[in-house]
């Protein structure tokens, strides 16, 4: 499970970096895309933090033990 979370976190980071690079080529003010980009970046950051926090909980379990919560 922790490996999958790490892979997902890496993919999210790569995707957000790619989006950031793409944003440099768009005339943001004309397209009105800046606000949507900022909201998306905040949502992905919040999701990433939650995912990393959840990974810490799964990493502490012993094999065969019941999930917490």
Please check the confidence at residue 69 and state whether its pLDDT lies above 90. no
Cα distance between residue 51 and residue 56, in whole Å: 9
Please identify which residue in the block is written with the tokens 């440099």.
Answer: 24
Is the overall model pTM greater than 0.75, yes or no?
no
In DSSP notation, 19-33 reads: HHHHHTTS-HHHHT-
Question: pLDDT by residue (tens digit) across 27-58?
Answer: 766 667 788 888 988 999 898 888 878 777 77
Please identify which residue in the block is written with the tokens 């990393």.
Answer: 52
> Looking at the chain, how many residues does it have?
69
Residue spans per domain, the chain: 28-59
């Amino acid at each position: 499970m922790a490996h999958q979370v790490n892979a997902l976190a890496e993919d999210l980071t790569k995707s957000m970096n790619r989006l950031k690079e793409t944003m440099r080529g768009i005339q943001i003010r004309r397209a009105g895309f800046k606000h949507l980009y900022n909201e998306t970046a905040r949502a992905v950051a919040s999701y990433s933090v939650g995912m990393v926090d959840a990974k810490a909980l799964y990493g502490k379990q012993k094999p065969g033990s019941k999930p917490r919560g």
